[in-house]
Structure 1
Amino acid sequence: MKMKMRATLPALMLIAATLVSACAKPTSEQLSEGTIADPNEQRNRAVHEFNRGVDRFAFRPAAKGYVAIVPPDMVTSFGLFAENLSMPGQAVNSVLQGNFKQAGIALSRFAINTVFGIGGLGDPASDFNVPRVDTDFGETLHVWGVGEGSYVELPFFGPSTARDTTGLVVDFFTNPLGYAKNTPVDDIDIYAEVVRRLGDRGTYSDTVDSILYESADSYAQARLIYLQNRRFDLGQTSENSEIDPFELSTEGF
């Protein structure tokens, strides 16, 4: 079943090309002004309320229980494990972006942390001064000149854009580990990512709670934080445009 799903990659790439063809590319003036394209705001707000309900009654209590029971060092290790599993996929995206140096760094981190970090539970690569890598197919599309498109709030996943939604789907199928035979646990990368998200939700619970449940308009605040930080990460806005959610969460709308 898993291999059949992975075999759909060419079809997904075709679908991705179709989807991103409709993504508008903001001008530099629009980006500097923090322009937000949200033509489907009503639907997005409905999804946001659904996500808040899922978080309030399921994900939030599960995450708080997880970090209360599991020692902090183990929470960190499980997060590192998920990050390590993503390195081959990030190497692929780096190659697609034409950044072969970054691809080599990603593979080096994967090799070092897998061998010397107990399968990725540790991070000796950082001790060896091998920098962290953080990229995805959404960034690859950006490098290819695809605009971010309209803002989207995805069920369960939260804030995104048309471009990053396409990237999210493609990333699921482009990690080479997904094609490996004799994997101890099928889709272990998915399970590891869920555990990582639990750890992050539990660790930063106060900040997330302040955004989702204490701000005057949690939808607008989450949208602003996501878009500004994503644009900053992609080098589309100045250093001063990055938003610190720890600071913003104390402000109202």
Structure 2
Amino acid sequence: MKRVLITQETVRHVIHGGDVSLERHHFFFRQGCRLLLLLLLTVSVYVSANTATLPDDPFGSVDASLPHDPYENWNRKVFVFNETLDAWILKPVATGYRAVTPRFLRTGVRNFFSNLGEISNFTNNLLQAKPVPAGKDAVRFTLNTTLGVLGVFDLATPLGLQKSEEDFGQTLNVWGVPEGPYLVLPFLGGHNLTHTLGLPIDYYLNPMYHIEDPLIFYSLGSLFVVQRRTDLLEAEKLIQGDRYSFIRDTYLQRRLFLINDGKMVSDPFLEDDDFDFDDDDFAY
């Protein structure tokens, strides 16, 4: 019987379909992502330069009465596009994923991806001149990566090492860069301007970006997106009224909370002059 030597290159040639290899697709995909991020940065900078004056807009896309969302008309169009993709593709996949995977497995997946974000948390805490939180991030990453089996098990939180939630957009805000207007981006959803500007930096800080093997890269990327969408299945049941406004306002409130590290700067309810009480009002 004639023996046939099957080399690794032969297997890859057969699996990936002749001359067009998966590595080549992976290369063009990464280049496309870089061009997309560069485009987002260009658009964001342009919007930032023109938002302060809010010039007259014959198409009605600018609303000066909404300082945090002057481009609501445009944002709503992109929002509808994203919601359509979600309803037809992402949400059904996330629902199926939750149905077939046990809770402990989903928790492990969530912990794994959360652990990869510790590098961004550490870097941005240092850039914000917060060495103590940065030290906690470093300890969390080391502990969970080693004893926690690449972050699948979160051993740091029970020890009192709470996870930070930092990104480069918050770093810009801490050093005086205004938050900017609310923008809804295709596929990425709604972010304020500085959050958008920080996305390429945070993406680069994530170890997944530097994975060279295309199979691992696409597999982890897909799992990350599905897991993130699965985590929102229960939360979206709380949405009431206009879906766009609810999601936008929730995002902006949470963003302010993160920028101020959970410190309440002001409370509109307590500062409202219409509510003027004294001790007699509560006597009975």
Q: Same fold (TM over 0.5)?
A: yes
The structure 1 residue matched to 2:69, chosen from 38, 48, 53, is: 38
> Could you tell me which residue of structure 2 aligns to residue 61 of structure 1?
92
Quote the RMSD (CA, aligned, Å).
3.2
CA distance in 2, matches of 1:52, 1:180: 30
Partner Cα separation in structure 2 for residue 149 and residue 101 of structure 1 = 29
User: After TM superposition, which residue ranges in structure 1, 4 or more long, deviate above 6 angstroms?
Assistant: 180-184
Larger Rg belongs to: 2
Q: 2:121 aligns with which of 58, 75, 90?
A: 90
Q: Secondary structure at the match of 2:162?
A: coil
Which one-letter code corresponds to 1:67 in the other structure? Answer: R
Q: Is the 8 A contact 1:178 1:187 kept in 2?
A: no
Deviation per CA, 1:77-96, whole angstroms, max 9, x where unpaired? 11111000111122111111
**How is 1:1-253 mapped onto 2 (pairs within 5 angstroms)?**
1=27, 22=49, 36-175=67-206, 178-179=209-210, 185-186=216-217, 190-191=221-222, 193-202=224-233, 204=234, 207-209=235-237, 211=239, 215-235=240-260, 237-238=264-265
Query: What is the TM-score normalised by the length of structure 1?
Result: 0.74
Match of residue 250 from structure 1: none
Output one character per residue of 1:98-155: Cα deviation in whole Å (capped at 9) or x when no partner: 1122222111111101111111111111222222111111111111111011111122
The one-letter amino acid paired with 2:256 is R
On the 8 A contact 1:23/1:147 being kept in 2, the answer is: no
Deviation at 1:162, TM superposition (A): 0.9
Please tell me whether the aligned partners of residues 48 and 180 of structure 2 are also in contact (alpha carbons under 8 angstroms): no
Say how many residue pairs are matched.
220
2-structure distance, mates of 1:129, 1:69: 32
SS at match of 2:191: strand
Q: Which has the higher helix share?
A: 1
Go from structure 1 to structure 2 and tell me whether the alpha carbon gap of 1:70 and 1:177 turns closer, same or farther (over 3 Å shift).
closer
- Distance in 1 (CA, whole Å) between partners of 2:206 and 2:170 is 15
The 1:173–1:90 alpha-carbon spacing in structure 2 relative to 1, beyond 3 Å, is same
Contact 1:91 1:107 (C-alpha < 8 Å) held by counterparts:
yes
- Paired with 1:197 and 1:139, the residues of 2 have a C-alpha distance of 21
Whose relative contact order is higher, 1 or 2, with alpha carbons under 8 Å and at least 6 apart?
1
